[in-house]
Structure formats: structure tokens, C-alpha cells
Structure 1
Amino acid sequence: MHVSHLSLHDFRSYDTLELGLEPGVTSLLGRNGQGKTNVVEAVDYLSRLSSHRVSGDQPLVRQGAERAVVRAAVTREGRSATLEVEINPGRSNRARVNRAALPRARDLVGLVRTVVFAPDDLALVKGDPSERRRFADDLQVLLTPRYAGTRADYDRVLKQRSSLLRTARTRGGSAAQGMLATLEVWDERLAALGAEIMVTRAAAVEQLVPLLGKAYEAVARGARRDDAVVTYRPSFEIADLTVVADVEQALLAEVARRRQDEIDRGVTLVGPHRDDLLCTLGELPVKGYASHGEGWSFALALRLASYELLRQPGDDPILVLDDVFAELDATRREQLAELVAGAEQVLVTAAVADDVPEALRGRRLTVADGQVTPDG
């Protein structure tokens, strides 16, 4: 899979950009703030309809514009298609394939797949659980695009249920009791959708473990394949995460057990939105115990394992290495470059050309003053 042409309109710093791309390695070089990352962010946005840099869509629209458009010609297994998304902050986004409108923007998800390495990746292992949940969900969306709908439905239920709890706590008395009587309906929806999410996440993590060990051995000097492990960790004790119906019943039981706590605090305390992925090296968690270098190696291994998992059906995802080499020492730069150099398409951003290893020499473009031009 590769993008052969990218068109941007009012996306980030670009009012208009028309950029031809090729299979293999392409490096975008230029000083910070010139728009390098904006280009690769656009490609990644087409993959998941979300950015690896910000949580909302508003920053993606050029200042003064009402909407942004990202369009790409994508070649996959010898066939080409034009994918397009119109980003409308505060309103529904619109998506098209070969100029034909899709019923929902999220139907675009998964038609192009990306794996992004970025400076913030250290947060995968050192940051809050929300970072690891997002990693697991983004990966699962690319593995099974319909998961995006399940996740969106769960978020809506969670929002409605938590709003009901907050309002009930504020009002109190008989009014609160009447509102809480409707909680059972939301409990059932929360458990049904939450169980599907938890089982799906657990299965993806199980697939990731052997690939993670192999990747960590490759990027960490002297490491063994069984050193690095990631484990899905629900927020409550549950013996089996393989059968959706069983997990649903366990969720309902835990919701009932925590009912008074939720009423007192006005927040939903049970569900996959409170789960975590436990990253360990040997017997110890990475967070709080691993060195900076070990943390970086683990984060790189997670991304490499994701790449290997996504390419198992036989179709390479697009690799984006966004200013990542500046964060790595020389040894890890070379190791990462050797591992990804054979991908069908690799997009690299760097402020300094010398930061890019020779194994990723490829085609080089200069980004300056909103213009992207061939190097030299």
C-alpha cells in the first residue's frame, strides 16, 4: 500500500498543497515549524480519522478557514482509489471514495493504514493509561474497521450515563431517585458494548505479545525475546476475557457492586475506559522502573510489533517516522532504519538531513515557507 498523490486544502499551515509521492522512502527535511509534520499527519488522518498530535479536529483547519480537505490517491494490491475527507470541526465530517460520498465518515477508516513513530511515543510506556488505551484502540480499528463504530457507540453511552450520574448527584432527593431508575437501561448498553471492547482489546494484545518480544530483542542491545511483555489489565478482577457474554455479565455485576460509589462521585467507574495495558521488562513495570533508553526501546518495539501485526495479511501499512531520529542515539537509529527500510512506503520527517540513517536515504524533499520541493 502506498500514497501516490496527496492534496491538502486549508489543512494546518497549507492553504493548498499538491504533492506527488512514490513507493519506498521519502524524507521531508526542513527547520521546525515549516510544515513537515503537517504533511505526514494528513496521511495518518486518512487512516484513522484522528491525529497523532491532537485530540480534536479544530487545530487541523487552517486559521481563518471553515473546513479542511485531505485527499489522497492510494494504490493497494495493484488497484488505485482516491480517498477524501472533509474536516468540519463542530459538525459531521464527510468522506468520499472515488468522488462518491460515503454514508458515514468513519466508513473511510482502514482503507489506508498507517503506523506512526513520533517523539511522544515514550508516553505509551511512561504516560497515563489513556495513552495505552488509545494505542490499543487505534490498532484494533486498523485491524477491524467496524470496531470504530463500537468505540463511538460506547463513548456516547458513557457520556450519557455519566451525565445522568452527575445530574442525580447535584439534585438529590426524590428527583435523583427517579433519574437513577433509568440507569438500568444505560447499564445494559454499557456492559454490552464494553464487553465487546474488552474482549477485542485482549485478543489484539495477545497477538501483539510474541511480535513485541521479537521487536524488543531487535532494538535493545543484549535483550532477550521474552524480556518485553504487554498485558491487558481490566480495572476489576475478571478470570476470562475471551467470551463476550461472560464479560458482559461480569461488567453488570461490577456495575451493581459499585453503584453507590458512582452515585456519590457522579461518574462511571466501571468499563473499558478505566482499563490499562501493563508494560513490563522482566518482572518490573516499565513505568517507574525502566531507564529512558529502555523506555524508548519498548515504545519502538510496540510500534514495530503493530506494524508486523498489520502487515500479516500481506499488505504493508504506510510507515511514518515523524521526527523520531532526533530522539534516538546512533545505534537505535540504525537498528530502526534497518528494520523498516523494506516497507512499501516510508515517510520520514527530520530537521537535519544527517539525522536520517543511510539505510533510509531514499527521495528527499525540502519543506520551507509552506513549499515542498525536491532536495538539491
Structure 2
Amino acid sequence: MYITELELKNFRNYKELTIQFDKNVNIIVGRNAQGKTNLIEAVFLSSIGRSFRTSHDSDLIRFGQEEAFVRVKAEKEVIDTKVEIKINRHHKKSIQKDGNTVHRTSQLIDNIIIVIFSPDDLKIVKEEPEKRRKFIDRELAQIKPAYYDCLSNYKKTLQQRNACLKEDYVEPSLLSLWDEQMIIYGSDIIRMRKDFIDRINEYSSRIHRGITNRSEDLSLQYDPNIRFCETKEEQQEVYRKELMKSAASDLRMRTTTRGPQKDDLQFFVNGVNARSFGSQGQQRTCALSLKLAELDFIREETGEKGILLLDDVMSELDESRRDYLVKTLHENQLFITTTDIDPGILEYYPQARIIEIEKGECVNLEKPANL
């Protein structure tokens, strides 16, 4: 799987742009605030129909304009695919895939699969549990329609249950209705998350040993708010009991206190909690191992080689970690944004496409002018 072409109109700081990509390595170079990240943001948009930087679609429209347009063409197993997105300040975003209207973003699942690694991903390891849940949800929802649907239904049910709890009088039968819905969807979420983390743990542990030259062992631990059970029936029964136990506190606090919306993911390096005691370098390596493990998970789950976007992270890694990165990703299409090109990357990828960005415009070069 690889992206062949990107077309933009009034997207961020781009007035109009059409560019073809190399199927292996694309290095996007330029000074800060020129539009490098905007370019890969548009690429990412084609994957799940949402930005990785903002939840407000209007932010994607060029200043002073009413509508932005993004078209991404890709090749998947020798079959061409195309995603077109129109974002209007006053109307709902419209998406088409291969000429057909996309009514739900879940219709984009497993179409163009993209993994992004940026400096913000350090937050997955070092900040609040919400960041880690968001990571799990985004990666699972991107390739598993069943998870996407289950998560969407759970969020709607949770919202309804919380609204019910905020009423001055809570109707027991109505609360019971929401409880049963939460038990069904929540139990499935817990079980799918557990399977995902177990598999990602296997991949990331191997990758982490390689990155650190076997000096560190990484272990991931799923920390569900409601205990994981081996069978679906047992999981639902445990979930039901936990909701019953928390009923009084839920009524008092007027919110749902138990469920997967409280889950967490723990990182351990050589047996030590990386969030609490790891150095920033160790935390960054944990995040990198996690992101590379996604590619292995995607390949095993879908048979496809995911596309990797590396947004301004090469300068954050030491030489050994950069070397590991470029030498192990030769089977995936890469997009690398940077202010300066590392000669080591060009040495390993001499045919890489260099895209120079300046003020929302790009110039394609055979190689950077300073080499």
C-alpha cells in the first residue's frame, strides 16, 4: 500500500498543490512554519477522515476561504483507490471514496492505513490516561470496523446514562436500560483492547530490544477499570456486578464512575514504570517502539504494509535510534518531515524523493541543494 498523489486546494496555508510521491521514501524539508506538517496532515486525513492535530474541521480551511479540498490517490494491491474530502465552514464535511459518498467515517476503515509518529506522541507515555486510551481507540478503530461501531455505541450510551444521572429524579428502569447497553458494549471493548495490547506488547518488546541494542526490556500492561475475563459471559457478569456496586456513588456524583472510559495502559522498562521513573529519552523510545509495533499489528491483521508518517522526530532521536529506524522500515512507504536532511538517511535511501516546502509551496528536487 502506498500513496501516489496528493491534491490540495485552500488547505491550511496551501492555496493549490498537486504532488506525486515516491512509493518508498519521501523527505519533506523546510524551515519551521512553512507547511511541512500541514502536508502530512492532509495525507493522514484520507485515512480516518479526521485530523491528528485538531477536532475543528474549520481550522483546516485556508484563512479567508470558505472551503478546503483534499484528494489522495493510493495504490493497494495493484488496485487504485481515491479519497476526496471537502470541508466547508458552513456545511458538514463531505467525503467520497472511489466516487461513492461516505456517510460514516467507519467506511474508510482498512482503506488507506496510516501510522503517524510525532513529538506529541511522547504524551502517550508521560501524560494522563486519556492520551493512552485515545491511542488505543484510534489504532483499533482504523482497522477493525467492529471496534469502531462498539466504541461509538458505548460513547452514546455513556452520554445517555450520564444525562440520566444528572436528573433530579433518576428513573430506575431507564438507568437499568442504559446499564445493560453499557455491559454489552463495554465488555466487548475490554476484550478487544486486551487482545490488542497483548499483541502490541509482543511486537513492541522485540522492537525495543533492537532499538536499545538489548540494553532495555519494554513491557506493556493493560490496566482495565473493570477486570478482564476470559469469556464474554463472565466479562458481562463481572461488569454487571461492578455497576451495581458503584450505583450509589454514581447517583451521588451524577456521573458513571466505572467502565472502559477509565482504562489505562502502563509502560515498564526493565521492570520500572516508565511514566513515573523513566527518563525523557526512555519515554521517547517507548513511544517509538509502540508506533513501530503498530505497523506489525497492521500487517498481521490486514496483510497490508501501513504507511508511516514521521513528523519532525528524526532530530529528537540519537544516531543509533535513527539508524535503526531507517534500516528497518524499507518495506513501508515513509514520509519524513525535517528542517535538515540527515545524510545518513540519504545514504540508506539514495532514491528518496526530496520535497522542499516554503510558504505553502513546494519544489521537487533530485537531492537537497546543500548535499
TM-score, normalisation: structure 1 = 0.90
The one of 270, 286, 291 equivalent to 2:258 is 270
Query: How do 1:124-163 residues align onto structure 2 when only pairs under 5 Å count?
Result: 124-163=124-163
- Whether the aligned pair in 2 keeps the contact of 1:94 and 1:105 (CA below 8 Å) is no
Tell me the CA shift for residue 356 of structure 1: 6.8
Per-residue displacement from partner, 1:236-279 (whole Å, max 9, x unpaired)?
3x251x43332222222211111111122121111111101111
Identity fraction in percent = 28
Return the offset for 1:50.
Answer: 2.6
Secondary structure of 2:176's counterpart equals helix
- 1:216-227 to 2 correspondence within 5 Å? 216-223=208-215, 227=217
Distance across 2 between alignment mates of 1:193 and 1:146: 11
Contact 1:48 1:110 in 2 (8 A): no
Structure 2 unaligned residues grouped into runs of 5+: none
Aligned-residue offset at 1:211: 0.7
Q: Deviations over 1:8-66 (max 9, x none)?
A: 23322223221111201011101111111111111112212232223443322333444
The answer on whether the counterparts of 1:325 and 1:356 sit within 8 Å (CA) in structure 2 is: no
- The alpha carbon displacement at 1:98 in A equals 1.9
Q: Which residue does the alignment assign to 1:202? A: 194
With 151-160 and 348-357 compared, the bigger mean Cα shift is at 348-357
Structure 1 runs (4+) deviating above 6 angstroms are none
What letter is aligned with 1:10? N
User: What is the letter of the counterpart of residue 327 of structure 1?
Assistant: E
| Structure 1 residue 306, shift from structure 2 partner | 0.8
Distance 2:163 2:354 in 1: 51
The aligned residue for residue 348 of structure 1 is: 336
In structure 2, the partner of 1:338 is 327
2:57 maps to 57
| Per-residue deviation, 1:299 | 0.8
- Corresponding residue of 1:232: 222
Aligned match for 2:317, one of 306, 320, 328: 328
Structure 1 residue 116 corresponds to structure 2 residue 116: yes
- Could you report, residue by residue, the CA deviation over 1:172-223 in whole angstroms, capped at 9, with x for unpaired residues? 3xxx144x54111111111211111111111111111211111101111342
Question: Letter of the aligned partner of 1:77 in structure 2?
Answer: E
Higher mean C-alpha deviation, range 138-147 or range 38-47:
138-147
CA-CA distance at 1:154 after TM superposition: 1.6
Residue in structure 1 matched with residue 47 of structure 2 by the alignment: 47
Using structure 2 for the length normalisation, give the TM-score.
Answer: 0.91
Which shows bigger deviation, 143-152 or 359-368? Answer: 143-152
Q: How does 1:28-39 map to 2 (within 5 A)?
A: 28-39=28-39
d(CA) in 2 for partners of 1:89, 1:231? 42
Partner SS state of residue 31, structure 1: coil
Q: Secondary structure at the match of 2:33?
A: coil
Tell me the residue number matched to 2:26: 26
Q: Are the equivalent residues in 2 in contact too, given 1:95–1:108 (CA < 8 A)? A: no
